[in-house]
Amino acid sequence: MIEPKDNSDNDINNLLSLIKKYHLQNRVLLESFSELALLKIHKSDPQIPLTQLAGDFTISPMLQYYANNFYAKKAADYLGEHNKKYLLWGIDTEIQMKKYSRPEENVSGILTDYPVKLTTILHENNVFKRYYEAAAYPSESISGYMYLKNGKKVYVDQVKMKDNQLFYHVKPNIWISYDNLKNSNKFAPKAQVGKIKLEHDAQVYTDPSFEKKTEKKLRKDSTWNYFAIKKIQRKTAYNLGGAQWVSQ
């Protein structure tokens, strides 16, 4: 679920370009308090499902979802009758989770800060059964030769990440891991995805050795996604995307 914070054509077009680049049209749900932002998205790409956040639940035909942070039976009944889906956010207690997962409440989805707790409750009550597998990010096209550890040269045309590991595609249809390459470097940053909550104000650096500062500082207690980790002299560097590194 992604919420554009701006109605500007430039921001919306940049967001849609990224979604199309990574083939995520069927894997995202865009949401906004702004009907204008949702209208612009729909005109640009009607394939992407949209959610109206709060406001009037008698939503436009172009929208598939309505979401708010309190349950309203009138809204639930109306949306169900018009083949729309009703989402509730801020459902964090077990009592709420059990109540709004009942089919008669007409709630299509629950947004919570405690997904493990919610999943446990749903499984225990047989609301759904699902088998989870690690996400594989869509592959990117590349072009070039690489060497295996046995010295053999192979032509690689795709790369993807799964289970926090890089894999390369070799024709006819073989995926090899980064560890199988001759030039793999155990000292290189390890691809890993997670979240970090800063214990203090943090300076952002352009390198994991913390030699080149940027003008950016991050606040204590703020939470950030990271995409790689590198340990140098007992310090752990977290990559926040691109040339942005912080220590904890």
**Which pLDDT tens digit goes with each residue over 14-55?**
999 999 888 888 889 999 998 899 999 999 999 899 999 998
Question: 188: which residues sit within 8 A by CB, 6+ positions away?
Answer: 230
Let me know whether 47 and 101 are in one domain: yes
Let me know whether 39 and 64 are in one domain: yes
Average pLDDT over residues 117-125: 79
What tens digit of pLDDT does each residue of 140-193 get? 777 778 888 878 888 888 888 777 678 888 887 888 888 787 765 556 666 677
What DSSP element (H or E) covers 160?
strand 153-162
3 state DSSP class of 52: strand
Q: Is the pLDDT of residue 139 over 80?
A: no
Let me know whether 118 and 15 are in one domain: yes
Residue 199 CB-half CA count within 13 A:
2
Q: What is the CATH number of the domain that holds 53?
A: 3.20.20.190
- Domain assignment present for residue 135? The answer is no
* AA letter at 115: P
- Dig out the tokens for 222 from the structure: 């703020």
The torsion angle over the Cα atoms of residues 114, 117, 119 and 124, rounded to 10 degrees, is: -160
- Domain assignment present for residue 229? The answer is yes
Q: Using CA atoms, how far apart are residues 123 and 129, in angstroms rounded to an integer?
A: 6
Entry field: residues in the chain: 248
Let me know whether 97 and 22 are in one domain: yes
pLDDT of residue 23: 84
Let me know whether 176 and 113 are in one domain: no
- Domain assignment present for residue 185? The answer is no
Task: Give the number of other CB atoms < 10 A from CB of residue 229.
Answer: 18
Let me know whether 172 and 197 are in one domain: no
pLDDT of residue 132: 40
Q: Is the pLDDT of residue 218 over 80?
A: yes
Residue 44 CB-half CA count within 13 A:
20
- Domain assignment present for residue 2? The answer is no
Q: Using CA atoms, how far apart are residues 43 and 54, in angstroms rounded to an integer?
A: 21
- Domain assignment present for residue 49? The answer is yes
Let me know whether 202 and 241 are in one domain: yes
How would you classify the pairing of strands 235-239 and 223-232?
antiparallel
- Domain assignment present for residue 131? The answer is no
Let me know whether 86 and 176 are in one domain: no
Let me know whether 232 and 158 are in one domain: no
pLDDT of residue 186: 58
* Burial environment of residue 168 by CB neighbours within 10 A (0 to 12, 13 to 18, 19 or more): buried
- Dig out the tokens for 143 from the structure: 């072009």
Cβ pair 224, 196 in contact under 8 A: yes
Share of the chain above pLDDT 70, in %: 89
Share of the chain above pLDDT 90, in %: 32
Taking the complete model, does pTM exceed 0.95, yes or no?
Answer: no
Let me know whether 14 and 117 are in one domain: yes
Average pLDDT over residues 213-218: 86
Let me know whether 150 and 239 are in one domain: no
pLDDT of residue 1: 92
Cβ pair 141, 157 in contact under 8 A: yes
Band (pLDDT 50/70/90 cuts) for residue 221 is confident
Domain count of the fold of the chain = 3
Cβ pair 65, 50 in contact under 8 A: yes
pLDDT of residue 91: 94
Let me know whether 196 and 167 are in one domain: no
pLDDT of residue 214: 85
Band (pLDDT 50/70/90 cuts) for residue 126 is low
Average pLDDT over residues 119-141: 62
Q: Is the peptide bond before 172 cis (omega within 30 degrees of 0)?
A: yes
What tens digit of pLDDT does each residue of 3-15 get? 988 888 999 999 9
What DSSP element (H or E) covers 89?
strand 85-89
- Domain assignment present for residue 4? The answer is no
DSSP state of 179: G
Range of the domain at 149: 140-180
- Dig out the tokens for 130 from the structure: 């699902």
